[in-house]
Structure 1
Amino acid sequence: MRDLDPVLKSVKTLTQEVGDFIRSESKNFKTSDIEHKGFNDLVSYVDKEAERKLVDGCRQIVPEAGFITEEGTASTQQGEYNWIIDPLDGTTNFTHGLPVYAISLALTFHNHVVLGVIYEINRDECFYATKGGSAYCNGELIKVSEVNELGNSLLATGFPYHDFGKMSTYLNILDSFMQQTHGLRRLGSAAVDLAYTACGRFEGFFEYNLKPWDVAAGIIIVQEAGGFVTDFSGGNNFLFGGEIVAAGNVHKDMLKVINGLWNGNPDQVAVGKSSRQ
């Protein structure tokens, strides 16, 4: 495997340059610029141009790598290396003027994420990690939360926006966590949720119906920050499987609730009482 340090340095610079473009465009963005890829699936010229810039930059950084991209600028998986890119995770927030969105960019080697960068544009925070190299935000080492009781935790999640087939089950999971934690937050960007889990602002994050570009970078950042990442059954199908549970010490208790209700085995999903005041 190639040396990832120079790759990371170049990717950080690239994401911040493209972040500057997105930040600049946000000042004059109009609702008439919104396009619809599908029901509640928004896109704009900003997403498309940001992705083009990222793809062009990544082609220069690792020329032999293929691409998995949200907007389809380049979607050709090739050989050992592949880039997984979300140019603007939190597009709905962006189009409504809510300042929670990020660039998410990852590099895989034999379908395992080995590098991830999440650039949260409005707070100017760059979260990043490489395989075996710890996790950082703006040069400072980050770690997942040390909280080990679900009752003292703050969790993040997302809501389905087009596939509502399992909505009732998901609401049962939310209901259980609402009664056992300090609360739930829904920021509207899985990349930001994962970054905030990696640095301990959230104790954990879970969501389903996700795409690889939503989670790829966040997976390695959480893992290198000392966290655990699984699918809803506790397995490893979290990059392409559409389900993710990412957390620090409360991962086991989160998984107990989620797995029990999601897979129809609610033997004992109450694992602790909230200490919320």
Structure 2
Amino acid sequence: MSDQNEVPAVGGKSFTAVAINSASKAGEWIKTKLGNHTSLSLKYSAQDLVTEVDKGAETMIRNLVQTHFPHHSFLGEEGVEPGPEASDRALQSVRDAEYLWVVDPVDGTTNFVHGFPFFSVSIALAHKGEVIVGVVYDPIRDELFVAEKGKGAYVRGRRTQVSEEQTLRDSLLATGFPADPNYALPINMRGLQALVPQVRNIRSGGSAALHMAYVAAGRLSGFWEYGLNSWDLAAGALLVTESGGQVTDTKGNPYHLGVRHAAASNGHIHEAFVKVLEKAESDV
């Protein structure tokens, strides 16, 4: 796909081309390391893993971005201490940046470690706090999802469009199982229990960024998860909105980089979707 032609650069600068190039190069390198990583350590919990591949991919992306835009700020998952408080502090430290790259080098590290082929590279660029470029690359399927603010979203050269399901009962949703065992996981499970009887089915692939890309591409009707970070959501959120969908927090408030509990959908089901999550969240 000739993404650089089909998704023009923002403001005369090739932000999108750099994001595409960085995601593609990192993704191809990550794929060569599948089944061949040499280190594995825990971060926030037993479900929150990191390998030398995560760190190497983030360094590669950072270097590629800073070669072109040395004065831009950079927020990558592997440069932040584990835990929600550290994530919040890291985002606050760059909140006033004019241009901020928000990067998850391997979204789905657990899948990568186990050889389960569902993980992605997620790269977003925010201008004064608003995401203007979003790229999610699945190296296993060689699928590159690209969005620019106001210019649509694409995969394999085709414009993406959210699905047409009008009701929860016709919907295929996705969620994840958060690494935070004390707050995010229990509340996510209450949402799961509440939604399962009301929808067609629910999936859990293990990569929030790819789930969001699948909502954008019409493969899922919606996605939610508690306890996420800016690097999990930023690129995918733009993909969804540029494909005609809706992204909010789980209470229905507008998405911004600080949102940690997120719901994304085709828009048609969003009100009913969030209403179920709100009720499940309050039924403690």
Q: Which residue matches 1:8? A: 16
* Distance apart, 1:232 and its partner CA: 1.1
CA contact (8 A) 1:238 1:244 kept: no
Matched, 1:34 2:34: no
- Residue in structure 1 matched with residue 194 of structure 2 by the alignment: 176
Structure 2 equivalent of residue 269 of structure 1:
none
> What displacement does 1:241 show?
2.6
Q: Does 1:127 align with 2:145?
A: yes
Moved more, 166-175 or 133-142: 166-175
Shift of 1:239: 2.6
Structure-2 separation of matches of 1:170 and 1:11: 31
Matched with 2:52 is 45
CA distance in 2, matches of 1:5, 1:228: 28
Q: Does the residue aligned with 2:202 lie in a helix, a strand or coil?
A: strand
Tell me what 2:3 maps to: none
Alignment of 1:62-211 (within 5 A): 62-72=69-79, 77=94, 79-165=97-183, 167-211=185-229
Which of 210, 221, 224 matches 2:242? 224
Aligned partner letter, 1:35: S
**Structure 2 length normalisation: TM-score?**
0.87
Q: Deviations for 1:51-97, whole angstroms, at most 9, x for unmatched residues?
A: 00000111123222101110018x77363100000000000100011
Alignment RMSD (CA, Å): 2.1
Change (3 A) 1:85 1:102: same
2:161 and 2:255 map into 1 onto residues whose CA distance is 24
Cα distance change on mapping 1:238 and 1:257 into 2, 3 Å: farther
Change (3 A) 1:163 1:10: same
**Matched residue SS, 2:183:** coil
* Post-superposition offset of 1:169: 4.0
Q: CA deviation at 1:237?
A: 4.8
- Seen in structure 2, the aligned counterparts of structure 1 residues 23 and 169 have a Cα distance that, compared at 3 Å, is closer
Partner of residue 270 from structure 2, selected from 251, 257, 268: 251
Structure 2 partner of 1:60: 67
Q: How much has 1:38 moved relative to structure 2?
A: 3.0
Moved over 6 A (4+): none
Cα deviation per residue 1:147-178 (whole Å; 9 max; x = unaligned)? 11111110000112233335444333212211
Q: Any conservation in 2 of the 1:4–1:130 contact (CA below 8 Å)?
A: no
Indicate the percent of aligned positions where both proteins have the same amino acid. Answer: 36
* d(CA) in 2 for partners of 1:96, 1:143: 32
- Give the Cα separation in 1 of the matches to 2:142 and 2:124: 19
Q: Which residue of 1 aligns with 2:30?
A: 22
Alpha-carbon offset, residue 224 of structure 1: 0.2
Letter in 2 for 1:38: Y
CA separation in 2, counterparts of 1:29 and 1:4? 39
* Counterpart Cα distance in 2 of 1:37 and 1:4: 40
User: Which residue number in structure 1 is paired with residue 282 of structure 2?
Assistant: 263
Query: TM-score scaled to structure 1, two decimals?
Result: 0.89
Deviation, structure 1 residue 260: 2.1
Would you say how many aligned residue pairs link Structure 1 and Structure 2? 263
Q: Is the 8 A contact 1:19 1:103 kept in 2?
A: yes
Checking the alignment, whether the CA contact within 8 Å between 1:117 and 1:129 is kept in structure 2 is: yes
What residue identity is the alignment partner of 2:197? Q
Q: Aligned partners of 1:55 and 1:114: how far apart in 2?
A: 18
Give the conservation status (yes or no) of the 8 Å contact 2:222–2:263.
yes
Answer with 144-153 or 169-178: which moved more.
Answer: 169-178
Counterpart-to-counterpart distance in 1, 2:65 and 2:204: 31
Q: Contact conserved, 1:233 with 1:255, CA < 8 A, in 2?
A: yes
